Chain A
Amino acid sequence: MSKLKALRPYFLVAPQTIVLLIFLVLPIVLIGVVSFWEFNGYSMTPAFTLDNYRGVLTSSVTLDTYLNTFKYVVLVWAVCLAMAFPVAYFLSFCIDNPRLQVILFLICTIPFWTSNIIRMIAWIPVLGREGLVNQALTGLGLVETPVAWLLYSDFAVVVGLVYLYAFFMIAPIFNSLMRIDRRLITAAQDMGASGFQILKEVILPLAAPGISIGSIFVVTLVMGEFITVRLMGGGQSASVGKLINTQIGSLQYPLAAANAVVLLAVTLLLVVLILRTVDVRKEM
C-alpha cells in the first residue's frame, strides 16, 4: 500500500514517458538495429554487418552531402540569427506596452498557423520564373530576362529554411532579453557605457543562453531537413535528410538506417559543441 503511494508521483509523468518510449526511443533503437542488417538489393535480412556503415563512411557522396548540409546549416543559422536578434531586441526593449508585446509576438507565429508544405509551395509563385519577384524586376526594367536562381537553387532553400525556422531563434532570444534587468542598462549608462558597449558588455552576454538555445533548434532542424530542400531546391540541391529519404524511397532501409545513425551522431555532436560554448542552465 505504502509502496503504491510512493509511486504515485510517477503516474503524472507516465503518459509522456510511454509516448516517448514508443515513438522516440523504440524507433531509434529499431533504426540502430536495422542499420546492421544485410541488404542485397532486393531484400534485407537480420544480421550484424558493418557494410552499411562502411558504405556510408567511404562514399564520396556522403561527404559532399554533409558539406552541402553544413552549408545550409551555417547560412540558415547566420541569417536567422541576424534577423532574429534585432526582432527580439525590438520586441523586448523598444515595446513598452506588454499587451502590444504579446500581440506582436503572436504575429511572429502567424506562419505556423498553416502546414510547412503549403508554406513552401506558396514560395513557388513568388520566386518562380514567371513569379511575383521576377515580374516586378522585369516590369521595373531592372533585369532583361527573369532571374533563374530565385527558385530551385541553394538561395531558394536558404530562403525557405529561414522562413520556416527564424521564429525558433526569435523566441528563445526574446525570452532571454526579457529576463535582463533593465536597471543593468541604466547602471551601464551611469558608468559611461555607450550604446554599442552596452550591447557588447551587457546585452549580448546575457542573451547568449537564448542565442544558443535558438541555435540548437535551428541547427538540429536544418540538419534533418528534406522536404524544403526537395521543394525549393528542385533536383540540384542535396542534403543528408534528402539522401536518407531517397534511400528509403528505393527501399534501401539498412543503408538509410546507417545514414540516419550517422546523422544523429553528427547532430548531437553539434549540440554538444553549442552547449560547450554557452551555459544554458540559467534559461531552464
Chain B
Amino acid sequence: MPESSTSISPDVGPDTRSDLSPDMHLEATSSTSAAATAEKATGVSLRAVTKKYGPVVAVQDISIDVAAGTYCCLLGPSGCGKTTTLRMIAGHEEITYGDVFIGGRRVNALPPVKRDTAMVFQSYALFPHKTVWDNVDFGLKMQRLDRQARRQRVGEILDIVGLSDFAQRKPDNLSGGQQQRVALARALVTRPQVLLLDEPLSALDETLRVRTRGELRRLQKQFGLTFIQVTHAQDEAFSLSDQIVVMGDGHVDQVGTPQRIFNRPASRFVANFMGDNNLFEGNVTQVEADGEVAIAQLEVPQLGKFTCQAEVAPDVGMEAAFCIRADRMQVTRRGELPEQTTNHLSARITAIEFTGYITRVALLAEATGQELLYKARTQDWLARDLQEGQVVELYWTTEAANFLSH
C-alpha cells in the first residue's frame, strides 16, 4: 500500500512550501492524480539482466518489473550492483546479457536520450560553468527545441521547484537543497517517462533529507512518472517507495512493498540489512499449512523449539532460520512468563541504551552466547523496572516470527 501523500506534508517546513506553486499543493493532496496519469506513464522491465566487468560479475541475472507510475527503490548496501542496474536502465552502461524494456520497448541498443528516461546523478553533476537556467535548458537546447518553447518550459519547471529567483545563479552559489532541485528540474524539463535517481538525497543533511523526501514523492505524483531510485538508506526507501527491490551482491533478494519488506524479510540477507532483527538458525522439525500461510517449527540447538510463520511451507528437516524483530518481542522477569507462550528464551541484559522515544536493550542468550536486541518505547521499558545484569525472559508470538529459507 502506498502511503497517503497527505501524511508526508507535515514533514515539509513552511519555507519550502512557500516556494512551491499553489497548484502543486492541489495535485499533491489529490490522491487520484497518480491513477489519472498512470496511463501516460511508462513501466520498466528487466529480464535476466547481467553485467560483467571482465571476469567480475557486478549484476547477476536480475529480473524486475516496475509498473508505470510507481515509485520504486533499489535498496542495498554499497557495491550490491544497484547503481550499475540503474545505469543499465539509463543506457550509461552496456548490458552484458539480458534485456531492458521501457514501455514495452526493448531499449538495449538505444542511447540514453532515446529511452524516455532522465537521470538525476549522485551529487547532481550540475554544469559548474552554467547558470541554473542554462543547466535546466541544456537538454532542450541539445534537442534543438525552438527558443520560445525552451524559455517557456524552463520557466515552468523552475517555478515548480521554486527556483525562479535563482535562475541566473551558478550552482556553486546555491545550497545543497537548491542544487538538488536544479538537478531534478534539469531531469524533468525534457519530459521523460521514467526518472532515474542515483542516491539523490545522500548529499543532504538529515533535516533537509526528510523534507526533500516529501518533495520527491509529490513531484512523482504530480507528473505521474515512474521513478526508480537507488538508495542505501532503508528509511528513504520505506518512506518513498511503492515497491522496494532489495539487492545484495549483484542479485535481487526480495521485491515487495515497504511494509512487506519490513515485516516479512525473505532471506537472512534482507533481515540483516533491515537491521534490528534477531536471527536464529535451526532445523525444521514440523510444518503445518494453515490456509494462506504455513507455520513452521524449528529446533534451535541449545535453545529449544520455536514456531514461526512461513510464506511457503518448507520441507521438514531442512536447515533454515527465522527472525524476530527487536520491537516485536516482549520481555518479562523470570518466572512471570504468561501461560501458553510457545516462543521464549532467557537472556541476560548487557546494556541499556536510551535513544529518546525508543530504548534499545542488548541481551545475551546465555545458553548459546548469541547477542540479542530488544527495543521498546522508553515509557514501557521504564515501567518494567529492569536493570543491567538481570536475567529476563524474552517471548513472542508465532505470527511475529518470520521464517527465512535462505
* Pair from one complex: yes
Asked if B184 CB lies within 8 Å of chain A CBs, one says no
Whether A187 lies near B142 (C-beta < 8 A) is: no
Among B113, B123, B127, B143, the residue within 8 A (CB) of A190 is B113
Among A190, A192, A197, the residue within 8 A (CB) of B92 is A190
Residues of B contacting A191 with CB < 8 Å? 113, 118, 138-139, 142, 186, 190
Among A188, A190, A202, the residue within 8 A (CB) of B90 is A190
A206 CA to B121 CA in the complex, in Å? 19
Whether A186 lies near B92 (C-beta < 8 A) is: yes
Residues of B contacting A192 with CB < 8 Å? 111-113, 139, 142-143, 190
A206 CA to B126 CA in the complex, in Å? 13
Whether A189 lies near B112 (C-beta < 8 A) is: yes
Asked if A27 CB lies within 8 Å of chain B CBs, one says no
Asked if B102 CB lies within 8 Å of chain A CBs, one says no
Residues of A contacting B113 with CB < 8 Å? 189-192
Chain A CB within 10 Å — which of B90, B121, B138, B139 has the most? B138
**In whole Å, how far is B55's beta carbon from the nearest beta carbon of chain A?**
18
Asked if B129 CB lies within 8 Å of chain A CBs, one says yes
Restricting to B70-107, which residues have a CB under 8 Å from any CB of A?
90-92
Return the chain B residue nearest A206 by Cβ.
B129
Asked if A183 CB lies within 8 Å of chain B CBs, one says yes
Whether B128 lies near A188 (C-beta < 8 A) is: no
Residues of A contacting B128 with CB < 8 Å? 206
Asked if B119 CB lies within 8 Å of chain A CBs, one says yes
**In whole Å, how far is B1's beta carbon from the nearest beta carbon of chain A?**
33
Asked if A181 CB lies within 8 Å of chain B CBs, one says yes
Among A186, A194, A197, A205, the residue within 8 A (CB) of B129 is A205
Binary B-proximity of A198-232 (CB < 8 A = 1, otherwise 0): 00011001100000000000000000000000000
Asked if A193 CB lies within 8 Å of chain B CBs, one says yes
Residues of A contacting B174 with CB < 8 Å? none
Restricting to B165-215, which residues have a CB under 8 Å from any CB of A?
186, 190
Asked if A184 CB lies within 8 Å of chain B CBs, one says yes
Whether A181 lies near B125 (C-beta < 8 A) is: yes
A192 CA to B140 CA in the complex, in Å? 9
A192 CA to B191 CA in the complex, in Å? 13
Residues of B contacting A181 with CB < 8 Å? 125
A184 CA to B113 CA in the complex, in Å? 15
**In whole Å, how far is B121's beta carbon from the nearest beta carbon of chain A?**
5
Whether A187 lies near B125 (C-beta < 8 A) is: yes
A234 CA to B122 CA in the complex, in Å? 59
**In whole Å, how far is B119's beta carbon from the nearest beta carbon of chain A?**
5
A145 CA to B138 CA in the complex, in Å? 57
Residues of B contacting A189 with CB < 8 Å? 92, 111-113
Chain B CB within 10 Å — which of A184, A188, A189, A191 has the most? A191
Whether A184 lies near B142 (C-beta < 8 A) is: no
Residues of A contacting B138 with CB < 8 Å? 188, 191, 193, 201
Residues of A contacting B127 with CB < 8 Å? 184, 187-188, 201-202
Residues of A contacting B190 with CB < 8 Å? 191-192
Residues of A contacting B112 with CB < 8 Å? 189-190, 192
Whether A184 lies near B125 (C-beta < 8 A) is: yes
Whether A183 lies near B142 (C-beta < 8 A) is: no
A97 CA to B21 CA in the complex, in Å? 49
A201 CA to B91 CA in the complex, in Å? 21
**In whole Å, how far is A83's beta carbon from the nearest beta carbon of chain B?**
25
Whether A186 lies near B142 (C-beta < 8 A) is: no
Return the chain A residue nearest B139 by Cβ.
A191
Chain B CB within 10 Å — which of A188, A190, A194, A206 has the most? A190
A193 CA to B121 CA in the complex, in Å? 16
A63 CA to B303 CA in the complex, in Å? 101
Whether A186 lies near B139 (C-beta < 8 A) is: no
A190 and B118 in contact, given A197-B142, A201-B138 (Cβ under 8 angstroms): yes
Whether A186 lies near B121 (C-beta < 8 A) is: yes
A186 CA to B121 CA in the complex, in Å? 9
**In whole Å, how far is B91's beta carbon from the nearest beta carbon of chain A?**
8
A162 CA to B80 CA in the complex, in Å? 50
A187 and B121 in contact, given A197-B142, A202-B127 (Cβ under 8 angstroms): yes
**In whole Å, how far is B198's beta carbon from the nearest beta carbon of chain A?**
9
Restricting to B115-148, which residues have a CB under 8 Å from any CB of A?
118-119, 121-123, 125, 127-129, 138-139, 142-143
Residues of A contacting B119 with CB < 8 Å? 186-187, 190
Residues of B contacting A205 with CB < 8 Å? 129
Sorted from nearest, which 5 A-B pairs have the closest CB atoms?
A192-B113, A191-B139, A183-B125, A187-B125, A192-B142
Beyond A191-B138, A202-B127: 10 further Cβ-contacts under 8 Å? Answer: A183-B121, A184-B125, A186-B92, A187-B127, A189-B111, A189-B113, A190-B92, A192-B111, A194-B142, A206-B128
Residues of chain B whose beta carbon lies under 8 Å from any beta carbon of chain A: 90-92, 111-113, 118-119, 121-123, 125, 127-129, 138-139, 142-143, 186, 190
Could you jot down 6 A-B contacts, CB within 8 Å?
A186-B119, A186-B125, A189-B92, A190-B92, A192-B113, A192-B142
